[in-house]
């Protein structure tokens, strides 16, 4: 029975239908994201944005540092349950629409694109790049303020409390964490158990994004973070592989340095602050990322410095441009991998 179960699981994970749907969703996310840009200044997946609109105010109200640690942990558990319940309701609604209005098989990839995000972060990061360049010549313009706002909302960081080097470090870090949590992980769980699993992960990740404060929250973010970590350990390894491979195709980046970063014990990011994807990005680009920042709620987040200690933390716009290019290449490599698996599946099916 175990062998039959494993064979059935493998057949589902590498099913032609799910691979095709995942690829269509990736294309939709990239095109719609570039066309529409960040929703309400938030470049994360649409489901994250919707959950934050509904539960974001509640999550910020329950974070009272004067409460005991056990009380805050219980509140974090309640918040996580609230996000999961909302996600399940949305998932059931989406599943019902998909069953009754398949729209020639287009409905499922359309709804899958709600839990991944590609074009919107690229748009936000490119605008940020142009805004910093413009500021260095003409001062911060109106367009510049909007560009900074997108990244501040998406990363929950108060960019007014840091200089341009710090802002660029935040932007580069967002490329790694976003690729991991908003692309690879939801697609991984979709391949494992379909649309409900992808939505469930996205709900957990949204809760973690809203309250974990990169592991620096007092109690309230601990349970959402640990719960997301259980779901995100394997996807972060896959994300690191794609990002390190993309470094081989990025000018002035190096896959060998990225691999070295994983093998060393210093200059690495804890899981709560980006983990393996952030580590390989910093080492692969040859820069130092992280460092203390203040979030939008006024909390100081003493993030670790990630990368070789010999590398500079005074990153410039060319480093951001290089990181954007690397992130897009990683996305293309993921799409190409799915295409390769799809081709192998089709060949093997025709052979038998």
| pLDDT confidence bin for 319, thresholds 50/70/90 | very high
Which of 122-126, 283-287, 347-351 is predicted least confidently?
347-351
> Mean pLDDT, to the nearest integer, of 115-142?
82
Of 317, 308, 266, 264, the residue nearest 289 (C-alpha): 308
**N residues, the chain:** 352
| pLDDT confidence bin for 141, thresholds 50/70/90 | very low
Q: What is d(CA 107, CA 99) in angstroms, rounded to the nearest whole number?
A: 9
Helices then strands (H, E): number in the chain?
Answer: 14, 4
> Mean pLDDT, to the nearest integer, of 319-346?
93
Q: Given a cut of 90, is residue 15 above it in pLDDT?
A: no
To 10 degrees, the CA torsion angle through 41, 154, 245, 238? -120
> Mean pLDDT, to the nearest integer, of 321-337?
96
| Mean pLDDT estimate for the chain | 88
Which of 2-16, 44-58, 138-152, 247-261 is predicted least confidently?
2-16
Q: Are 273 and 304 in contact (CB under 8 A)?
A: yes
Between 155 and 345, the higher pLDDT residue: 155
Between 113 and 8, the higher pLDDT residue: 113
pLDDT score, position 3: 59
> Mean pLDDT, to the nearest integer, of 168-183?
96
pLDDT score, position 146: 63
Q: What is d(CA 71, CA 114) in angstroms, rounded to the nearest whole number?
A: 33
Burial, 305: exposed, middle or buried (Cβ in 10 Å; 0-12, 13-18, 19+)? Answer: middle
Q: Given a cut of 50, is residue 142 above it in pLDDT?
A: no
279 alpha-carbon distance from chain centroid: 14
Give the percent of the chain with pLDDT over 70: 92
pTM beyond cutoff 0.85: yes
pLDDT tens digits, residue range 17-29? Answer: 899 999 999 999 9
Per-residue b or e along 14-39, where b marks 16 or more CB atoms closer than 10 Å to that residue's CB: eeeebbbbbbbbbebbbebbeeebbb
Provide the residue ranges of all domains of the chain, joining segments of one domain with +: 17-335
pLDDT score, position 33: 93
Q: What is d(CA 333, CA 322) in angstroms, rounded to the nearest whole number?
A: 16
pLDDT tens digits, residue range 275-309? Answer: 999 999 999 999 999 999 998 888 888 999 999 88
């Amino acid at each position: 029975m175990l062998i039959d179960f494993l064979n059935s699981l493998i057949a589902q994970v590498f099913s032609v239908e799910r691979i095709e749907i995942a690829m269509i969703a990736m294309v939709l996310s990239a095109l719609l994201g570039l066309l529409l840009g960040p929703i309400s200044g938030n470049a994360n997946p649409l489901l994250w944005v919707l959950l934050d609109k509904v539960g974001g105010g509640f999550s910020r109200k329950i974070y009272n540092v004067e409460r005991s640690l056990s009380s805050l942990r219980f509140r974090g558990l309640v918040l996580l349950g609230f996000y999961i319940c909302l996600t399940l309701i949305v998932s059931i609604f989406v599943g019902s629409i998909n069953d009754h209005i398949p729209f020639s098989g287009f409905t499922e990839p359309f709804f899958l694109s709600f839990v991944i995000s590609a074009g919107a972060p690229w748009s936000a990061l490119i605008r940020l790049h142009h805004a910093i360049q413009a500021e260095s010549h003409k001062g911060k313009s109106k367009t510049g303020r909007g560009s900074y706002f997108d990244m501040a909302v998406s990363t929950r960081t108060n960019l007014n409390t840091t200089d341009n080097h710090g802002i660029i470090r935040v932007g580069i870090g967002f490329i790694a964490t976003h690729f991991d949590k908003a692309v690879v992980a939801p697609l991984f769980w979709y391949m494992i158990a379909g649309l409900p699993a992808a939505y469930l992960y996205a709900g957990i990740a949204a809760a973690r994004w809203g309250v974990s404060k990169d592991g620096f929250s007092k109690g309230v973010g601990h349970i959402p973070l640990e719960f997301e970590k259980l779901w995100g350990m394997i996807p972060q390894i896959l994300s690191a592989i794609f990002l390190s491979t993309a470094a081989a195709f990025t000018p002035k980046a190096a896959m060998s340095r990225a691999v070295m970063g994983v093998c060393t014990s210093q200059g690495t990011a804890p899981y709560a602050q980006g983990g393996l994807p952030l580590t390989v990005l910093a080492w692969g680009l040859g820069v130092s990322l992280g460092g203390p920042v203040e979030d939008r709620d006024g909390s100081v987040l003493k993030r670790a410095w990630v990368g070789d200690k010999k590398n500079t933390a005074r990153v410039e716009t060319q480093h951001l441009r290089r990181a954007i290019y690397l992130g897009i290449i990683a996305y293309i490599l993921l799409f190409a991998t799915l295409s390769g698996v799809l081709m192998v599946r089709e060949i093997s099916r025709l052979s038998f």
